[in-house]
Amino acid sequence: MNGAGKNEPDGTPTHDPGKAPTNDPSSASRRRRHVAFVALALGATVLPLAVLAMLLGGVTLDGLGRIGWDFLTSYPSRRAARAGILPGLVGSISLISLTAALAVPIGVGAAVYLEEYGKRTRIARIIELNIANLAGVPSVIYGLLGLGVFVRTLGMGRSLLAGACTLALLVLPIVIVASREALKNVPDSTREACLALGSTRWQAIRQVVLPMAFPEILTGVILAVSRAIGETAPLVVIGALAYVTFLPDGVLAPFTTLPIQIFDWVSRPQQSFAVNAAAGIVVLMGTLLALNGVAIGLRARLQRRKA
């Protein structure tokens, strides 16, 4: 690519006439090369998708037979055939609900501030740059942040609440960026109409702008939630447990989640636990597919309305 890079666009014409005699009469070879490249590019685009489809198909075959009512409602066990994912499921659902309850109001609030109030002020630009940088911080670093701030300094311990706070900070950039995009798509004429009718700025935002942006904000929230559901590393770092035989009885209780349970099973050498991991993955992927289906459906409906 670097070699090509030295050939500035204006270098091309001096090159081509020299080649033209060999190229021109055999436009068939030119076409053949074109077709070959299209096939290569198409192959490179489709192959990773095909590989993923095959992997997911394989894990479904491996795990589907293991899934049943018992698997969903049992506690982990030293014997693979009796182990279940109940604590992981309950932990994941409680953790994600708490995370969303924290991240959605803060994220949407931040987006409203940046888009409606502080637009293009210097402080807004600093915050924007900061959010862009946070989005690139590895999730395991958020785990260290959670360990230092929520678990130790704020004394939450290795609890659901500490996990939810950590994950909320992790997905906050996703919620903010998506909500800002949604607010941007509300035409300014709408805001002006509200103000002309005598509403205050906040009334216009609360009663007209936010309701109009709501479906798109919801799509962003679903994306953030699906990211949070699959997160494992930061929760391991803040000290979520791998082997839990009880259900959390409050926000300060220790917990495990479905991905951590899968991680625990994958890490064991016995083949029977790998089957459990496969079954856990089927449940996790099923949940994610359902969520993404809802998000895609919402987006499609939105686009139809715009068109």
Partner 1 sequence: MTAATASATSEPSASLGTGAVGDPSGAVEPAVGDEDPRPLTGRAAPWHERVIEIGLFACAGVSVLTTIGIVAVLLGETLQFFGEVSILDFLTDTQWTPLFSDKHFGIWPLLSGTLVTSGVAIAVALPFGLLAAIYLSEIASPRVRSLVKPSLELLAGVPTVVYGYFALVTLTPLLQHVVPGLSGFNALSPGIVMGVMIMPLISSLSEDAIHAVPQSLREASYGLGASKLATIFRVVLPTARSGIAASVTLAASRAIGETMIVAIAAGQQPRLGIDPRQPFETMTAYIVKVSLGDIATGTTEFRTIFAVGSALFVMTLSMNLLAMRLARSFRGAL
Positions in 19-58 near partner 1 (CB under 8 A): 20, 23, 30, 33-34, 37-38, 40-42, 44-49, 51-52, 55, 58
The Cα–Cα gap between 143 and 170 comes to 9
94 vs 276, beta carbon nearer partner 1? 276
- Helix or strand (DSSP H, E) at 302: helix 271-306
102 vs 218, beta carbon nearer partner 1? 102
Contacts with partner 1 by CB under 8 A: the residue count is: 110
**By CB under 8 A, which span of 71-79, 83-91, 231-239, 248-256 interacts with partner 1?**
231-239
Whole-angstrom CA distances from 86 to 70, 98, 240 are: 9, 18, 15
Minimum distance of partner 1 from residue 87's CB (angstroms): 16
The Cα–Cα gap between 38 and 23 comes to 19
Residue ranges in 182-201 that form contacts with partner 1 under rule CB under 8 A: 188, 191-192, 195-201
Residue ranges in 131-160 that form contacts with partner 1 under rule CB under 8 A: 131-134, 136-145, 147-149, 152
Residue ranges in 201-230 that form contacts with partner 1 under rule CB under 8 A: 201-204, 226-227, 229-230
Identify the CA nearest to 224 among candidates 40, 74, 101, 69.
101
Minimum distance of partner 1 from residue 75's CB (angstroms): 20
The Cα–Cα gap between 172 and 264 comes to 28
Residue ranges in 64-83 that form contacts with partner 1 under rule CB under 8 A: none
Based on the shown chain and the rule CB under 8 A, indicate whether residue 301 belongs to the binding site for partner 1. no
Based on the shown chain and the rule CB under 8 A, indicate whether residue 246 belongs to the binding site for partner 1. no
73-83: b or e for each residue (b if 16 or more CB lie within 10 Å)? Answer: eebbeeebeeb
90 vs 116, beta carbon nearer partner 1? 116
89-106: b or e for each residue (b if 16 or more CB lie within 10 Å)? Answer: bbbbebbbebbbebbbee
Identify the CA nearest to 283 among candidates 57, 32, 63, 44.
63
Whole-angstrom CA distances from 132 to 115, 127, 137, 174, 247 are: 15, 9, 9, 10, 37
**By CB under 8 A, which span of 69-77, 79-87, 125-133, 212-220 interacts with partner 1?**
125-133
Minimum distance of partner 1 from residue 228's CB (angstroms): 10
Whole-angstrom CA distances from 234 to 27, 167, 253 are: 57, 8, 17
Tokens read off for 155: 């004394």
Minimum distance of partner 1 from residue 49's CB (angstroms): 6
Minimum distance of partner 1 from residue 221's CB (angstroms): 15
Minimum distance of partner 1 from residue 122's CB (angstroms): 10
Based on the shown chain and the rule CB under 8 A, indicate whether residue 109 belongs to the binding site for partner 1. yes
DSSP state of 231: -
In the list 80, 98, 162, 176, the residue contacting partner 1 (rule: CB under 8 A) is 176
